[in-house]
């Protein structure tokens, strides 16, 4: 497995990480714990060293799963988790708002350390910006946690460029985690140039379009009633039918490269910048192996031009989130 550094930091991780949310939440019922522990340990055996979780996933249960799975090999891995939501302490409902007050950040960090069975969080993200708390106070609190030896690096998620700049001036931001893929390209406008200027790494979440870019979902696919994709405008039957054009493009490139659409989608991301580290999630071993295979696929400059040219002719149908979730979802 190739390694990459996140921005100008000395935080080196595998070129592909593993998003762990779907093991515990959002994509149907939680998966079998022992099976997921085995999958996480297999990922390490295959060279993945970068694991992404959050207190909001479950809530709480995903951190516990990741902590238990990686505890025996803690010195071999980098664990990223997140603060920033107001959660039901009983874990009985989804997040009920944002909360990045300094006291809350400190409390969440302590709880995450316990659940992750570790004495330091490698990368601590603000999960979503809290408009009621100055970002300087957030960055300063994480800076204190770093100085106390409880956190190693500071990250942000779905933050705008001005907020990133303000935070970075207080405590260097090591990584930004935003959605980015061939069907969500908004970071290219302002975010990627800002990260390059400041020396911040980029960690795309949902790099496979929540499964759509694998080519295994079409207009006839049905999801479990607890799967949050049922509520996403981009996953209506009409949108899935319209967006099939992107899958056809990936499929044609994949055929030329003797690869799969998912591998091309991930290879395209890896080819954008050397400091981009996608974190596709999966609960299946064969999908993990498939994703890892993307790292060895070489897309030439001509390949990338062909993909960009063809993709520019395709208009993606459907918003990422319903309007009421756009600003507060943790997914």
Q: What pLDDT, in 10s, does the model give residues 95-131? A: 578 999 999 999 999 999 999 999 999 999 999 999 9
Catalytic residue among 57, 125, 153, 321: 57
Question: Torsion angle of alpha carbons 42, 39, 122, 179, nearest 10°?
Answer: 120
Mean pLDDT (the chain) is 93
CA gyration radius, the chain: 19
Which range marks the domain in which residue 37 is found?
3-311
Active site residue 125: no
Q: How many domains does the chain have?
A: 1
- Is 142 inside any structural domain? yes
- Is 62 inside any structural domain? yes
Q: What is the CATH number of the domain that holds 140?
A: 3.20.20.100
| Cβ neighbours of 112 (radius 10 Å) | 24
- Is 296 inside any structural domain? yes
| Chain segment 135-188, per-residue pLDDT in tens | 999 999 999 999 999 999 999 999 999 999 999 999 999 999 999 999 999 999
- Is 150 inside any structural domain? yes
Tell me the C-alpha distance between 41 and 172, whole Å.
31
Residue 183 burial by Cβ neighbours in a 10 Å radius (0-12, 13-18, 19+): buried
- Is 12 inside any structural domain? yes
- Is 205 inside any structural domain? yes
Q: pLDDT band at residue 324, thresholds of 50, 70 and 90?
A: low
Omega of the bond prior to 59 within 30 degrees of 0, cis?
yes
| Cβ neighbours of 199 (radius 10 Å) | 15
- Is 170 inside any structural domain? yes
- Is 209 inside any structural domain? yes
């Amino acid at each position: 497995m190739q390694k990459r550094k996140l921005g100008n930091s000395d935080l080196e991780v595998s070129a592909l990480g593993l998003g762990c949310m779907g093991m515990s939440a959002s994509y149907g019922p939680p998966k079998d714990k022992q099976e997921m522990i085995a999958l996480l340990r297999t990922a390490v055996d295959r060279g993945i060293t970068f694991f992404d979780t959050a207190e909001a996933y479950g809530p709480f249960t995903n951190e516990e799963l990741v902590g238990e799975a990686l505890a025996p090999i803690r010195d071999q891995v980098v664990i990223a988790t997140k603060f920033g939501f107001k959660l039901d302490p009983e874990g009985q409902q989804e997040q009920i708002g944002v909360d990045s007050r300094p006291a809350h950040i400190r409390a969440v960090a302590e709880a995450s350390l316990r659940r992750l069975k570790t004495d330091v969080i490698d990368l601590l993200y603000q999960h979503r910006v809290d408009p009621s708390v100055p970002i300087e106070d957030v960055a300063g609190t994480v800076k204190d946690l770093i100085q106390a030896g409880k956190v190693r690096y500071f990250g942000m998620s779905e933050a705008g460029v001005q907020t990133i700049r303000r935070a970075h001036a207080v405590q260097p931001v090591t990584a930004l985690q935003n959605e980015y893929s061939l069907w969500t390209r908004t970071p290219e406008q302002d975010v990627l140039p800002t990260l390059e200027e400041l020396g911040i790494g980029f960690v795309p979440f949902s790099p496979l379009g929540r499964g759509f870019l694998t080519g295994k979902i079409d207009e006839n696919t049905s999801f479990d009633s607890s799967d949050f994709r049922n509520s996403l405008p981009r996953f209506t039957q009409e949108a899935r039918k319209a967006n099939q054009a992107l899958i056809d493009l990936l499929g044609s490139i994949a055929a030329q490269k003797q690869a799969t659409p998912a591998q091309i989608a991930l290879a395209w991301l890896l080819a954008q910048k050397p400091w981009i580290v996608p974190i596709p999630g999966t609960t299946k071993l064969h999908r993990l192996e498939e994703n890892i295979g993307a790292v060895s696929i070489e897309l030439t400059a001509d390949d990338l031009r062909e993909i960009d040219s063809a993709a520019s002719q395709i208009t993606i149908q459907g918003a990422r989130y319903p309007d009421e979730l756009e600003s507060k979802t943790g997914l």
